[in-house]
Amino acid sequence: MNTRPLLALMLLAAALPVAAQSAYRWVDKDGRVQYSDQPPPQEIKQFEERKIQPNKGNAQLPFATRKAAETFPVTLYTGRECGKPCDDGRALLTQRGVPFSETRLESAEDLAAFKARFRKDAFVPTLSVGRETEMGFAGPAWNSLLDNAGYPTGKR
């Protein structure tokens, strides 16, 4: 039996890019913003679908950074008019080489969901490292959160 076609097919399958996943956002009947990787229930007529690409750069990160990112994922919450504090926070994370996702609070619904998750007086920028959060940009406090989670210090 000739195994060349089978080998070629296996190599081709391995070389295919990972398909984008979908994330869905909608408001339920109680007025709460819902997020899911599954489509909303059929009774929900208005929803937002976003294609999410996997982070391909993660494999190039040092082991300690990958391990910290798996255990304590980092999310930066920003807003439209955040300006310099959000830019400074983004720069700190980038300088340290911390992989992070950024959630921009674009609408009143986004802001309401954010405040419901954290506190009613929450504001941006907010850094979430695993289950810990720090509101407002404060370099030493953010670095402390990242240090405690095991992220390498990078160049400070």
Residues 47 and 97 occupy one common structural domain: no
Q: How far is 132 from 146, CA to CA, in rounded Å?
A: 10
| Helix, coil or strand: residue 77 | strand
Per the CB < 8 A criterion, the answer to whether 78 and 105 are in contact is: yes
DSSP 39: P
Structural domain of 28: 20-54
pTM of the predicted model as reported, rounded to 2 decimal places: 0.61
Residues 47 and 100 occupy one common structural domain: no
Per-residue pLDDT of the chain (156 residues; tens, 9 = 90+): 566 666 555 555 555 454 557 888 888 888 888 888 888 888 888 888 887 765 555 557 888 888 999 999 999 999 988 999 999 999 999 999 999 999 999 888 988 899 898 888 889 999 999 999 999 999 999 999 999 999 988 654
Q: Does 7 fall in a domain?
A: no
Residues 32 and 95 occupy one common structural domain: no
Residues 49 and 102 occupy one common structural domain: no
Encoding tokens for residue 79? 């807003």
Residues 146 and 124 occupy one common structural domain: yes
Task: Count up the domains in the chain and report the number.
Answer: 2
pLDDT value of position 146: 96
pLDDT value of position 19: 52
Q: What is the CATH number of the domain that holds 135?
A: 3.40.30.10
pLDDT value of position 30: 87
**Element containing residue 51 per DSSP (H, E):** strand 48-52
Q: How far is 47 from 37, CA to CA, in rounded Å?
A: 12
pLDDT value of position 156: 45
